[in-house]
Chain A
C-alpha cells in the first residue's frame, strides 16, 4: 500500500449465520461492493467502494448486513482531524479540487435548534385544529400600493400575478440531469396533488411534465439550458437563479456523461457535451442588469407570471435583497449555506455563505426598515428540516420555505453525499436507466404527499397552540420565538428575545 492509501471509511458487516447468499446486495449495489465467491460459496465485500447509502442494508431479506464506520483511524488530533488529513492525501495524489454533494455537514450552529416556539396559557386560548378551521394557505407576489376604485366606488380587484400555495412549503430547484426523470415525476405529481409548487431547476422541463405546469416553477440560470418561449410560459412562475446556498459565487458543471438522451434534448445541448453554467449570468454584472432580465422575462410572458430571484445567503444579503426588491422581482428566494447540491467544490460548500436563519432575519428587517417588504415575498431554503423549522422561518418573516433535501429523503435518499458519482442506488441522483427505474413515481409522489400532509398537521398543531388560526398572522410574528443559548448579537440579528425575557 502506498503513502496515499486511505483505509476505507466504512466496513460491511455481514452476519454469516443469516446470509443466504441470495445476492440481492450484489445486484443492488451500483458501486460494486458485494460479489459472490463461487469457490467458497459466500458473499464477499470490497468496502473501499462503499458510500454507506444503506441500499443493501435496506433490501437484505434476512437483515444480515450492516454498514459501520471503520474504527481504523489515524492517531487522534483535535487540530489535524482524520478528514482533513485524508483530503490532503487525496489532493496530493490528484492535484484536483475536492468535490462533495448535498449540504454542508460541518458542525456550524443550527439556529433553528436554538429557537423555541410560544404557546397560549390562560390569558388567551389555544385553538384546537381538529375543531376549528386552521388556515395554511398563502399567496406569494407583489402587493399593490394603491387601491383603485371604479366610478361607483367599488374596489377594482386587480393584482399583480400571485402564486397560491395550500401550505407555505415548495419543492426547491433540482434540475433534470442532476436528478432522474422519476424523481422529477414524483415531485411534479406530488406538488400538483398538494396544491404547492415544485421547481425545474436549471435543466429545462421534460416535455412529459408540461401538464404539471400550474404547479411548476421554471428556472432560468446562467447556462440558460432548455429556456425557450413555451418553457417560460409553461410554469406558474419563473425563477432567475443568481446563486445557490451550497456554492455561492460559482456556477455548475454537469458532466457530459450525464447528458444523455432526454436530458440532452431537454437541456437543448448535444449529447455528451458538458453542461457548464457560468458563475455569473453574463448579461448580469450589476443590479440594473438584473432589472432588465426580470422585465425581459415579464415581457416574454405578458406580465402574467411572477418572477422569483434566487440568491445565496452571503454576507451582504440584506442590501442585496433590498436591491432585488426594487428590481421588479415579485419574490426573493434566499438559499442558506446548508443548502444541498448535486456537486460542489468541498471548500466552497463548507466555507462560503451564511446561515439562512440570520440571512432571513436580516433581510426581513431591512425590507421593513425601508418600507418595501410589501414589494416582494420572501422564500427561504437551505436546510428546512421539519414542520417546526417552517414555523420558525415564517415567524422570523418568511412567506414560504423551499425544501429539497427533505423531499429527497422522502424519496429514499439516505444522505450518503455522493450524488456527484451518478451511481445513486436509490434512483434519484442518477441517469442510469437500471437505477432510475428503482424509484417508482407512484410511490415516490405518495411519500412526498404523506410528508407534506404530516408537516401540515404539525404546523396546524403548533399554530393552534399559539392561538393563531391563520399562517398569515404568524408571518414576521417574532414575539412567538425565544432564543436559548444565543448571545446578545445573535438575538439582535434574529430580532428575538432570550427565553425567560
Chain B
C-alpha cells in the first residue's frame, strides 16, 4: 500500500509551542522566537516547524497577505490566473529563504498582497473576510499542488519540514519585526512530513499553534464542515482554527465565550457557580455547541489581529506555562523556552485547564 499523503489520513502529533507578545505593540525581530525553540528540541522530531508573526507587513497592512506553496511553476501560473479573477494583486514575490542543509525539498514559496474585487463580493453578497475565507477553502480543496498557508492582514506564517529553529533560519525571520510571534515544533507520529501540514495553521488573521491530540476530532470536524469549512489536512490544529473562526467571526462570540465552548467547564462546575448570569451563560453555550467541545489533551495559542489567547484542555493534559516581563507576555510548553527569550521573566505560572489567558495589545498600538 502506498503511504498516504497528508490530508488523506488523520495524523496525530505531539509538539512544542511558544509565543511572545508586547502589550505596548513594540515590534520584535523574529530571531528570539526561533531561538527559544532550541531548548525544546526534543519535543519535535524534525517533521515540521513554523511561526506566525503579527504586525510584520506595516507597508501592506490593508491588504491580505497570501503565503502559498506550489508544487510546480504551472500550478503557480494557474493559481495566479484564478487569483486575478477575484483580487487586485498589488504585490507578488518569492518569499526570501536561505539555503541551509537542514531544510531540503522545498516547494515554490510565494506571497501575494491582494485586495478582493468589490464586484466579486457584491455579486456573491458576502463580506470581504467571508470572500477571502471561501477563496482559501476553494484553492486548498480544489487546486491540486497549490496551498494557501497564510491569508491574514499584516501578519504571516512561515513553516516547513524541519526542526523549528532551522525553519526560522531558513525563512530569515530575524529580518521581520512583529508585535507578537507564535512558534511550533512538530512531532507527528505517522506522516512523511508535508510542508502544508506544519503549524501554525491559519485562516484570515487567526493562527493556531497546538500541542496535543484531541479525542473529539471527528465530532468537531463533522460539525464544522456543515458550515462551509473543509478539513483537508485532517489535523487537530486545522479543525481548531476553523472552530475559532466560526465562533468568533461568524457567531460573534467573545474570545472568552469561545474558550468556554471548546474547553467547556464540567456540568458539576457550572452547577456550583453562584453568579446566576454566568451560570446561565455557561449552560447556554454548552447546550448550544455540544459538538464543539474539544476533549483530549491540548495546549494552544491562538494568534489574532492585536492579541493572543492561550488555552489548555479542561483536564490540563498538556504542559503550558506563562511568564511576564515589562510589557511582554511569554507563553511556552516549557519554562526553559521562556527563559531563553527573557532570562528575567517574572510571575511564571501554569494556567489551569480550560482557563483562557487572553493578552491584547493596547488599542492603537498595532
Smallest Cβ distance from B333 to chain A, in angstroms? 15
- Cβ contact within 8 Å between A159 and B12: no
Smallest Cβ distance from B360 to chain A, in angstroms? 17
Chain A, residue nearest B12 (CB) = A123
Q: Is A421 an interface residue (CB 8 A)?
A: no
Smallest Cβ distance from B237 to chain A, in angstroms? 14
Q: A474-B219, A477-B219 are in contact. Are A469 and B295 (CB under 8 A)?
A: yes
Residue in B14, B214, B257, B295 whose beta carbon sits within 8 Å of that of A155 in the complex = B257
Q: Is B96 an interface residue (CB 8 A)?
A: no
The docked-state distance in angstroms from the alpha carbon of A135 to that of B189 is 29
- Cβ contact within 8 Å between B293 and A155: no
Q: A371-B226, A467-B295, A472-B293 are in contact. Are A157 and B283 (CB under 8 A)?
A: yes
The docked-state distance in angstroms from the alpha carbon of A477 to that of B10 is 13
- Cβ contact within 8 Å between A473 and B219: yes
- Cβ contact within 8 Å between A162 and B287: yes
- Cβ contact within 8 Å between B226 and A479: no
The docked-state distance in angstroms from the alpha carbon of A257 to that of B138 is 66
The docked-state distance in angstroms from the alpha carbon of A104 to that of B225 is 37
Residues of A within 8 Å of B294, CB to CB, are 473
Chain B, residue nearest A370 (CB) = B226
The docked-state distance in angstroms from the alpha carbon of A299 to that of B264 is 35
**Which of A136-144, A382-390, A447-455 sits within the interface?**
A136-144
Smallest Cβ distance from A161 to chain B, in angstroms? 11
Residues of A within 8 Å of B251, CB to CB, are 147
Q: Is B191 an interface residue (CB 8 A)?
A: no
Q: Is A485 an interface residue (CB 8 A)?
A: no
Residue in B227, B253, B287 whose beta carbon sits within 8 Å of that of A159 in the complex = B287
Residue in B14, B283, B284, B295 whose beta carbon sits within 8 Å of that of A473 in the complex = B295
Chain B, residue nearest A143 (CB) = B288
Q: Is A475 an interface residue (CB 8 A)?
A: yes
- Cβ contact within 8 Å between B226 and A473: no
Chain B, residue nearest A144 (CB) = B288
The docked-state distance in angstroms from the alpha carbon of A497 to that of B199 is 27
- Cβ contact within 8 Å between A373 and B226: yes
Residue in A135, A373, A476 whose beta carbon sits within 8 Å of that of B266 in the complex = A135
The docked-state distance in angstroms from the alpha carbon of A214 to that of B251 is 33
**Which of A125-133, A198-206, A246-254 sits within the interface?**
A125-133
Residues of B within 8 Å of A139, CB to CB, are 287, 290
Smallest Cβ distance from A125 to chain B, in angstroms? 6
Residues of B within 8 Å of A469, CB to CB, are 295, 314-315
Residue in A127, A144, A475 whose beta carbon sits within 8 Å of that of B219 in the complex = A475
Smallest Cβ distance from A289 to chain B, in angstroms? 28
- Cβ contact within 8 Å between B281 and A157: yes
Residue in B266, B281, B290, B293 whose beta carbon sits within 8 Å of that of A133 in the complex = B266
Residues of B within 8 Å of A470, CB to CB, are 264, 293, 295
Q: Is B215 an interface residue (CB 8 A)?
A: yes
- Cβ contact within 8 Å between B284 and A159: yes
- Cβ contact within 8 Å between B218 and A480: yes
Q: Is A349 an interface residue (CB 8 A)?
A: no
Q: Is A124 an interface residue (CB 8 A)?
A: yes
Chain B, residue nearest A469 (CB) = B295
Smallest Cβ distance from B219 to chain A, in angstroms? 4
Chain A, residue nearest B266 (CB) = A133
- Cβ contact within 8 Å between A478 and B222: yes
Residue in A159, A368, A473 whose beta carbon sits within 8 Å of that of B288 in the complex = A159
The docked-state distance in angstroms from the alpha carbon of A125 to that of B315 is 11
Smallest Cβ distance from B283 to chain A, in angstroms? 7
Smallest Cβ distance from B288 to chain A, in angstroms? 6
Smallest Cβ distance from B268 to chain A, in angstroms? 6
Question: CB-defined interface of A165-177 with B at 8 Å, one 1/0 digit per residue?
Answer: 0000000000000
Interface residues of B in 89-148 (CB under 8 A from A): none
Residues of A within 8 Å of B285, CB to CB, are 155
Q: Is A468 an interface residue (CB 8 A)?
A: yes
Residues of A within 8 Å of B54, CB to CB, are none
Residues of B within 8 Å of A473, CB to CB, are 215-216, 219-220, 293-296
Residues of B within 8 Å of A123, CB to CB, are 12-14, 189, 213
- Cβ contact within 8 Å between A132 and B315: yes
Q: A133-B268, A473-B293 are in contact. Are A468 and B218 (CB under 8 A)?
A: no
- Cβ contact within 8 Å between B12 and A472: no
Residues of B within 8 Å of A162, CB to CB, are 287
Q: Is B170 an interface residue (CB 8 A)?
A: no
Residues of A within 8 Å of B268, CB to CB, are 133
Q: Is A91 an interface residue (CB 8 A)?
A: no
The docked-state distance in angstroms from the alpha carbon of A402 to that of B280 is 29
Q: Is A15 an interface residue (CB 8 A)?
A: no
Residue among B253, B280, B287 with most chain A CB within 10 A: B287
Residue in A132, A371, A466 whose beta carbon sits within 8 Å of that of B215 in the complex = A466
Residues of A within 8 Å of B218, CB to CB, are 476-480
Q: Is A120 an interface residue (CB 8 A)?
A: yes
Q: Is A154 an interface residue (CB 8 A)?
A: yes
- Cβ contact within 8 Å between B267 and A127: no
Residues of B within 8 Å of A133, CB to CB, are 266, 268
Residues of B within 8 Å of A120, CB to CB, are 215, 296
The docked-state distance in angstroms from the alpha carbon of A473 to that of B13 is 19
Question: CB-defined interface of B346-359 with A at 8 Å, one 1/0 digit per residue?
Answer: 00000000000000
The docked-state distance in angstroms from the alpha carbon of A159 to that of B214 is 29
Q: Is B70 an interface residue (CB 8 A)?
A: no
Residues of A within 8 Å of B225, CB to CB, are 368
The docked-state distance in angstroms from the alpha carbon of A124 to that of B284 is 29
- Cβ contact within 8 Å between B290 and A124: no
Residues of A within 8 Å of B293, CB to CB, are 470, 472-473
- Cβ contact within 8 Å between A137 and B219: no
- Cβ contact within 8 Å between B212 and A124: yes
Chain A, residue nearest B280 (CB) = A157
Smallest Cβ distance from B249 to chain A, in angstroms? 13
Q: Is B340 an interface residue (CB 8 A)?
A: no
Residue among B10, B285, B295, B315 with most chain A CB within 10 A: B295
- Cβ contact within 8 Å between A476 and B219: yes
Chain A, residue nearest B9 (CB) = A501
Q: Is B291 an interface residue (CB 8 A)?
A: yes
Residue in B266, B277, B296 whose beta carbon sits within 8 Å of that of A124 in the complex = B296
The docked-state distance in angstroms from the alpha carbon of A27 to that of B111 is 89
Q: Is B223 an interface residue (CB 8 A)?
A: yes
The docked-state distance in angstroms from the alpha carbon of A397 to that of B277 is 32
Which 7 A-B pairs rank lowest in CB-CB distance, beginning with the nearest?
A: A473-B216, A472-B290, A479-B218, A467-B215, A157-B284, A477-B219, A124-B213
Q: List 23 A-B contacts (CB under 8 A).
A: A123-B13, A123-B213, A124-B214, A133-B266, A133-B268, A137-B267, A139-B287, A144-B288, A155-B284, A155-B285, A159-B284, A371-B226, A371-B227, A467-B215, A469-B295, A470-B264, A470-B293, A473-B220, A473-B295, A474-B219, A477-B218, A479-B218, A480-B218
In the complex, besides A138-B290, A371-B226, 18 extra interface pairs with C-beta distance below 8 angstroms are A124-B297, A143-B287, A147-B251, A155-B257, A155-B284, A155-B285, A368-B222, A374-B226, A468-B215, A468-B295, A469-B314, A469-B315, A472-B291, A473-B215, A475-B290, A475-B291, A477-B219, A477-B222
